[in-house]
Structure 1
């Protein structure tokens, strides 16, 4: 229902220069229609973000967890568009977004959305900010789509159906074999609370001499997609919200990565990820560094 109906609702034109509409039939697994809807709506939101972004620095409309955790009017406009298009296609579904109220649905499917992941990058014009859309049933994410608004690179996945690059013709991919622990390129991020940020910095100080290097991109969904396809070798971050993790986390695991929390499933306390060949050793190192 989701994919075909959404394709009727949205304009019949390319949504960006990097990809055409993708049929649910292009994806393996039983959740292809949810991913197809996420792709259609996510590209439309990405086009809105690109179109609405002014030259220069984007002004802050509000702040959230701290004075350095910004929201822009374009964040809100992106989420409103996503919420409306999903509701038109699947009116009985729930919705959890970063900027708006939670909607409890009756279908058993909930959409978990970050309308602009990497808002600070977006504000400053750093070309790493994304629209992230996931569908989950219960606590299980079953479909996810992430598009880097600045350059059009896009990724998607369905539970049990694999991970895909979606800028251009869909092509399935897996995470490449990693280098040894001392040669890992590790992606991380920092929260907005000063005390948490200080603790994260101390942990990174311990980690840095034991790996190749650290990358701090500033958008968790893009970090997880980079992990999935091997642009980085490992990942660690504290403080992720469900909309930070949902789509990118599914893409990473469907590509073959292992994600974990400090003592169990990944959660707000900690998310770490790596290829299964290096994951046990890397996770032990992360814990030893005090993350």
Structure 2
């Protein structure tokens, strides 16, 4: 006996097919982030040291960055071997499925090196070039943030939303600084000129956490120059799904030149001011 063809009306629609894929990618991203977070939290050596440097002598990689990326990429490759992977610490696979994972095993490595709590595991899944799933685990906070494109932002499974936009002079804005001295000097000048025009500035040390804090209403705005895809892929989606707008210079998406994020109503004047202050160049 042969199976009868599935009736046309019962065939899976493209929307249903996408939802199934997104659910699968979210489940894998959450599990990979959980495993990596436990490794990093529970097995951090007391004498943790620098394994390598990147853009400068103070832009560090630890042995735990490498171990966490190996765990995440191995887990994902075992379950979806046709997917591509881009990792901060060198993982790079083209893939054939249309899905690419973008992985930052420790976002906030210097915080992690010093035993500070603001570091995270950031995992995003792209499909056909668009980020569709974002997961950020902050083990020392005991928090996990996630978003699926079009489905809202969540903290530990509960929906979150960014704060209503305040006037610029009442906005709490976070930023970060590059590890190249020349770039840092210009960023400090931008911050000096910005700070009289906002409530205050914070510097947490993890772009992914900053973007998630924006989505949760813990910040009003965020900007940073020099981010890489793995720094912002998951956090950018979570911020947008939490109601924030994100961009670079006016008319552009977030990129390595500049990432700006804030609630509608604050985003536009903040972006314009940062463009005027030259936050996008050295």
Superposition TM-score, scaled by structure 2 size: 0.89
Partner residue, 2:9: none
Answer yes or no: is the 8 Å Cα contact 2:161–2:242 preserved in 1.
Answer: yes
Partner residue, 2:175: 188
Aligned residues: 260
Answer yes or no: is the 8 Å Cα contact 2:118–2:204 preserved in 1.
Answer: yes
Partner residue, 1:89: 79
Moved over 2 A (4+): none
SS in 2 for 1:151: coil
Question: Map of 1:165-244 to 2, 5 A cutoff?
Answer: 165-166=155-156, 170-244=157-231
Partner residue, 2:28: 37
Pick the structure with greater CA Rg.
2
- 1:34-79 CA distances to partner (integer Å, 9 max, x unpaired)? 1111001100000010122123x62101101111100001000000
How many angstroms does 1:258 deviate by? 0.3
Partner residue, 2:238: 251
Question: 2:110 & 2:224 partners in 1: Cα distance?
Answer: 17
SS in 2 for 1:96: strand
Answer yes or no: is the 8 Å Cα contact 1:61–1:73 preserved in 2.
Answer: yes
Question: 1:138 & 1:197 partners in 2: Cα distance?
Answer: 35
- 1:115-164 CA distances to partner (integer Å, 9 max, x unpaired)? 00000000001110100000002331000100112122110000111111
Question: Map of 1:86-165 to 2, 5 A cutoff?
Answer: 86-165=76-155
Answer yes or no: is the 8 Å Cα contact 2:73–2:91 preserved in 1.
Answer: no
Structure 2: which 5+ residue stretches go unaligned? 1-18
Answer yes or no: is the 8 Å Cα contact 1:113–1:132 preserved in 2.
Answer: yes
Question: 2:54 & 2:140 partners in 1: Cα distance?
Answer: 24
How many angstroms does 1:213 deviate by? 0.4
SS in 1 for 2:55: coil
SS in 2 for 1:61: strand
SS in 2 for 1:31: helix
Partner residue, 1:74: 64
The CA RMSD over aligned residues, in Å, is 1.3
Question: 1:290 & 1:190 partners in 2: Cα distance?
Answer: 15
Distance 1:119 1:185, change over 3 A: same
